[in-house]
Structure 1
């Protein structure tokens, strides 16, 4: 919800605002992720968890917003975030949890990035266990308003767990070549899959 967004703006002459939504399935994840997303709680417990910080949803939204703003020049000077419970109407069974109707199945997290009074960035991340049981498909959706308009969809979702593992490995040659210091994805050349030792050798 940041690096790909930035990459898609490369063909734009102007960007006025950006919207990115990621709908994903939490069922492959373990108890720690379920807990931070509020899965299995009542709606009241979820809202109390948001208040006390035990339900924190997706970590990194403010950092993604700053990265996009810095890269594109959106000039974001204020952000607002909210976390809302996704309450199940059906029974859902995953490896680490069973959710009964009326229980929280996930968290819909929204970030609005403002430049003055204008919303120039919207990030929406509804994560839940087995969304297809409620007729909801997964996917990644990015809309860039400007010249030209850009609209991208990936269906189903870009598999988060596997992608995180892959990026951690594939970025190693770029990190080895980088100068010392804290980096984000804007600071290193574009990363791609390492397909065998020969690909690694060419890149180092």
Structure 2
């Protein structure tokens, strides 16, 4: 391996929502990681043992807190940072304190941030001699697989990744509405809003282009909204007839008039919709060139899966590319590091 660990790495978990609690569970389980703190976003979680928040069977003795100073006082090597959106203030504080950050919070290269905010992060890394790394399922794991597949090609013409799924099991009305679902498809500015909400996909497209040696001229976005043919009640939100029930879009990178990288989604919600392309219920990863390469990633339950539904699996799939990267990120050179910079990230054998 390109790095060695002489002691368990000290890690704090930042938030314990859908993704964060899966990360927390994995940190507790790994002998090469030592949980030293948990940041609680909500006051109702302050004082609760990490085991209860993560669904771990035995108490850890680590209580969640909203005291950032107390967390930094534990001298962590790394932080698994899992809010929905990144806070530049929080990231700057962690990084300048010498804490390496591994995050699922809409971060791949930081390019969607303002130039001033991205500069703040870079300078914080320099001051703290720390690194920040972003990943997840998509973008994240899908980009890794695409770049690996490209290694089988003599010539790469285009990399295209499509998340082709029914999103109905992701019970976050705010997130789904922000992505256009349940809104009038003719709402002014809807496409621009979806573009902004999904800008991290553009970051991943640019990262892959750089990895294959393509100097992009521009990145564009296109999207098609499909209206529901009937009402759907999903419990946590409704999709009325005539509102958006399908979103099919891509962030595309171009060299001249050639589309070199495309990262996007073919999403539906509810049963009353016919998307422009049939769902493949997974991540479709294609590399066009010599030869053409294609695979579909499916996230499937193990035989002993006891949770109802599959939302938990998706959260694990999103959390683990970040949590499992902790040792590599701690060993990395200071600064903003990406999937293209790190050695392959692997899981751990449960011996």
Q: How high is the TM-score relative to the length of structure 1?
A: 0.81
Residue 25 of structure 2 is matched in structure 1 by none
The structure-2 alpha-carbon separation of the partners of 1:128 and 1:189, relative to structure 1 and needing over 3 Å to count, comes to: same
Higher strand residue share: 1
**1:83-114 residue CA offsets vs partner (Å, 9 max, x unmatched):** 33231123333242111221112422222221
The match for 1:184 is 338
**Bigger radius of gyration:** 2
Q: Larger relative contact order (C-alpha < 8 A, sep ≥ 6)?
A: 1
1:57 Cα deviation after fit: 4.2
Residue 212 of structure 2 corresponds to residue 72 of structure 1: yes
Listed one character per residue, the Cα deviations across residues 35-85 of structure 1 (whole Å, up to 9, x for unaligned) are 21111111122x43334x377442312211111111011232112102332
Matching residue within 173, 178, 183 for 2:327? 173
* Aligned residue among 8, 20, 37 for 2:179: 37
Quote the Cα distance in structure 1 between the aligned partners of 2:258 and 2:242: 36
Q: What CA distance in whole angstroms lies between the structure 2 residues aligned with 1:164 and 1:136?
A: 20
Give 1:58's match in structure 2, choosing from 198, 209, 214: 198
Q: How does 1:96-115 map to 2 (within 5 A)?
A: 96-115=236-255
Calculate the aligned-residue CA RMSD, in Å.
2.7
Structure 2 counterpart of 1:10: 151
Moved more, 126-135 or 87-96: 126-135
5+ residue gaps, structure 2: 1-141, 301-312
Report if the CA contact (8 A) 2:246-2:273 is conserved: no
Deviation track 1:107-145 (CA, whole Å, cap 9, x = no partner) reads 222222211122222333122224697474422212212
Instruction: Tell whether 2:282 aligns with 1:139.
Output: yes
Task: Give 1:195 deviation, angstroms.
Answer: 3.3
**Structure 2 residue aligned with 1:24, among 165, 168, 179?**
165
Please give the alpha-carbon distance, in whole angstroms, between the structure 2 residues aligned to 1:194 and 1:155: 20
Deviant stretches of 4+, over 4 Å? 131-135
Which segment drifts farther, 178-187 or 105-114? 105-114
2:328 & 2:158 partners in 1: Cα distance? Answer: 30
Aligned-residue offset at 1:164: 1.3
Residues 4 and 66 (structure 1), Cα distance of their counterparts in 2 relative to 1, 3 Å cut: same
Aligned residues: 195
Give, in whole Å, the separation in 1 of the partners of 2:207 and 2:328: 19
